[in-house]
Amino acid sequence: MDLKSAIRDVPDFPIKGIIFKDITTLLKNHEAFKETLDLLYDFSKNKGITKVVGIESRGFIFGGALAYKLNAGFVPIRKPGKLPSETLNESYELEYGTDSIEIHKDGVGAGDKVLLHDDLLATGGTMEAACKLIEKAGAEVSQISFLIELKFLNGRKKLNGYEIKSIIEY
């Protein structure tokens, strides 16, 4: 199946000049959803993954399903103030300013082999911060996966040294 054809382009969203890659059209197509999940699972099966960490919010969709298939726990990374217990925080640079993400302090720890998942790799700042959070908590980033990679933004450079899988590349 051509998974790219299952993704809708939305021009000028969220701001003028951006072509947003809308994955809801892939998610509602059960064949595309299943094939994508199978490809992501094939990347990570038999790797000893103990936790799948999904990045807010679309990273939760495949992240949760992958955790189930891998017999691993699922841990969310969220924007500040969204998690109810004690957290670790990591800031990262945006084109104009900074942002940050958080994980529960007890979400992952020593001995955990983590698969980090998000829907999209663009400039790599969010995933780089997520890797730092996992390592700050004492766990190992074993693999990173994405549904979509925007190769022209070179986000992979910030993730040098990690095993990475992207299902769809633009």
pTM of the model: 0.95
Q: What is the 3-state secondary structure (H, E, C) of the chain?
A: CCHHHHCEEEECCCCCCCEEEECHHHHCCHHHHHHHHHHHHHHHCCCCCCEEEEECCCHHHHHHHHHHHCCCEEEEEECCCCCCCCEEEEEEEECCEEEEEEEECCCCCCCCEEEEEEEEECCCHHHHHHHHHHHHCCCEEEEEEEEEECHHHCHHHHHCCCCEEEEEEC
pLDDT value of position 98: 92
Give the residue numbers annotated as catalytic, written as ranges: 58, 95
pLDDT value of position 57: 94
pLDDT value of position 78: 98
Q: Show me where the domains of the chain are located.
A: 47-169
Domain 47-169 in CATH 3.30.420.40? The answer is: no
What is the mean pLDDT of each successive set of 10 residues along the chain, which is 170 residues long? 97 94 98 98 98 97 98 98 98 87 98 98 96 98 98 96 98
pLDDT value of position 94: 79
pLDDT value of position 100: 97
